[in-house]
Amino acid sequence: MANTTVFEDLDLIDYKKAWDYQEERFDEIVETKLYNREHSGGEKKIVNRLLFCEHPHVYTLGKSGKENNLLINDNFLKHIHATFYKINRGGDITYHGPGQIVGYPIFDLEMLDLKVKSYIYKLEEAIIKTVADYGIPATRLEGATGVWLDVDKPGKARKICAIGVKASRYVSMHGFALNVNTDLNYFNHINPCGFVDKGVTSMQKELGEVQDFNAVKSNLLQKIKEVFELDMPA
């Protein structure tokens, strides 16, 4: 069956609202896969989804994360106009906010002939290729997910894109967060992804000026299409 992927830009959206929407799309694909296994010859078409969005200030803690990596209390959360959610992805704590491209690929990994590890590798590859177009040399850090800078320089390693996914029945959800024009001060209130000895950066910080957010978004979408070889109708 042909692989079709629908792209949706949700713009600025409340975290819980986007999470609920993800769950609905995720359930649709899982239910279709189960139907197809029971009805050979009468299969329904599976439609993968790629969602882009921004969130208001929010901290999310993965199922294996530690709450003490959030360094502030409820009152201070309100003071900085942020919310906090425990969620069902892998990984520890991270921050989402304006100026950050958050991507939620809801993909049937079996259809793409991918295991979870190779899926994450391809996500990282699309990010690495995107920031390379802006003259930012990024790479991977052994033992950690995401996209990093200066991993070979002691005390200089910093993350430009966090990745945390969930996969069940080989269907993915949650995804990545690329810091474009992100207010990095919000990361001071957590141990990002559980690390206490590594920094966080953004394209704006690395390049010394605010970036054209929509242009970066368009570039990133194209890189994901290329790396995953997606059939994505215009």
Q: Which two tokens stand for residue 167?
A: 């996969």
Helix (H) / strand (E) containing 24: helix 15-38
Which of these is catalytic: 61, 127, 193, 203?
A: 193
CA dist., res. 160 & res. 201, Å (int): 5
- Distances in Å between the Cα of 82 and the Cα atoms of 10, 17, 74, 76 are 20, 15, 9, 9
Query: Could you say which DSSP state residue 205 is in?
Result: H
* 193 labelled catalytic: yes
| Length in residues, the chain | 234
CB burial of residue 7 (10 Å; 0-12, 13-18, 19+) = middle
Q: Which residues have a catalytic role annotated? A: 193
